[in-house]
Amino acid sequence: MKSLMENWDKATYTTLANSIIDHADRHDFTDNYLKYLRKANNFNKKGARKKILPDGALRWNKGNEFLIERNV
């Protein structure tokens, strides 16, 4: 789990844990944070639309799922 958390950014949250818990809970992964981190880590960017956000981060959209990469 620690290695998966290293790929995560806390963004506007006070802690990294708060960010992971909030995102996982909003996507129906309550109490299964490891599964959520694995799903995010395995996001397949092939065929996804890429958008550069104002802060320089990349947002990848594919269907109703998305991934934001910061500090790339």
Q: Are the C-beta atoms of residues 34 and 43 closer than 8 Å to each other?
A: no
Torsions phi, psi of 56, nearest 5?
Answer: 90, -5
- pLDDT tens profile 9-58: 888 999 999 999 999 999 999 999 999 999 999 999 999 999 999 989 99
HEC assignment per residue over 15-41 = CHHHHHHHHHHHCCCCCCHHHHHHHHH
> Is 0.85 topped by the overall pTM?
no
| Predicted pLDDT of residue 11 | 87
Type of residue numbered 29: F
